[in-house]
């Protein structure tokens, strides 16, 4: 079974059992790209898709700054894709994994679209303050690479496989707040590829 096929099959079965599709629909995607170094904690949220006929042309991230020696660091907390129908059309929709304050969007130059991504992830530390994902970078259709203003803990893993035409959706794995225990927030991400 190809990588990610199991997740798509499970998602399809859940949609069939529920007799419905999520807002934005999942019918237009052709594949799901993933990275191999995502963090182990949390649960996968529902996928969010760009409107039909549009692709992600930029992204922004939500990052908690370092909390100091006595604090609990979580680093990367959210990821947002910015969708448009073409270079001449302004921003039409944002796809996000959370809400709150966001950084300034970074855009593919010359009307390009996002096609691949890589996560900076800190490996689990026992004992210690775990952060999981700390930053993200995207590759554009023209080869330009955009790196978020995240934190420097951990290392970037390998690039995901590329989307043939462009990215059009997002699913994130988030650990919910655990009270007085160690929190990590965003751990992993999947990106959906669309045909048009």
Helix (H, G, I), strand (E, B) or coil at 95: strand
Rg for the chain, CA atoms, rounded = 16
- CA dist list (Å): 138 to 80, 107, 116, 157, 180: 12, 10, 6, 12, 34
Any idea what the Cα angle at residue 162 is, between residues 118 and 80, rounded to 5°?
A: 50
51: buried, middle or exposed (CB in 10 Å: 19+, 13-18, 0-12)?
A: middle
Give pTM, 2 decimals: 0.80
C-alpha 155/C-alpha 118 separation (Å) is 10
**How confident is the model over 14-31, as pLDDT tens digits?**
333 333 333 345 667 899
Q: What angle do CA 144, 158, 178 make, to 5 degrees?
A: 110
Question: pLDDT tens for residues 120-169?
Answer: 999 988 888 888 899 999 999 999 999 999 999 999 999 999 999 999 99
Task: Report the distance separating Cα 93 and Cα 113, nearest Å.
Answer: 14
Q: Mean pLDDT for the chain?
A: 82
pLDDT tens-digit series, residues 171-196: 999 988 777 678 888 899 999 999 87
Q: Which residues contact 13 (CB under 8 A, 6 or more apart)?
A: none
* Cis, bond preceding 82 (omega within 30 deg of 0): no
How far apart CA 170 and CA 168 sit, in angstroms, is: 7
Cα–Cα distance, 171 to 115 (Å, whole number): 15
Report whether pLDDT(34) > 90. Answer: yes
Domains of the chain, first to last: 5-194 (2.100.10.20)
Stretch among 54-58, 87-91, 160-164, 185-189 having the lowest mean pLDDT: 87-91
What kind and span of H or E run contains 13? helix 5-18
Mean pLDDT score, 77-95: 79
């Amino acid at each position: 079974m190809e990588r990610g096929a199991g997740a798509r099959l499970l998602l399809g079965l859940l949609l069939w059992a529920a007799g419905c599709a999520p807002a934005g629909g999942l019918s237009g995607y052709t594949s799901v790209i993933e990275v191999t170094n995502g963090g182990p904690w949390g649960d996968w949220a529902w996928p969010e898709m760009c409107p039909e006929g549009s692709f992600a042309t930029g992204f922004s991230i939500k990052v908690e700054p370092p909390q100091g020696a006595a604090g609990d660091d979580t680093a990367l907390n959210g990821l947002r894709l910015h969708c448009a129908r073409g270079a001449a059309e302004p921003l039409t929709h944002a796809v996000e994994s959370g809400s709150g304050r966001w950084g300034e969007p970074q855009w593919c130059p010359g009307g390009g679209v996002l096609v691949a991504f890589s996560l900076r992830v800190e490996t689990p530390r026992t004992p210690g303050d775990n952060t999981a994902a700390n930053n993200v970078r995207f590759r554009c259709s023209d080869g330009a690479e955009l790196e978020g203003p995240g934190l420097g803990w951990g290392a970037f893993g390998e690039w995901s496989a590329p989307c043939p035409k462009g990215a059009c959706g997002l699913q994130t794995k988030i650990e919910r707040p655990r009270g007085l225990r160690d929190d990590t927030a965003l751990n992993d991400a999947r990106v959906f590829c669309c045909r048009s």
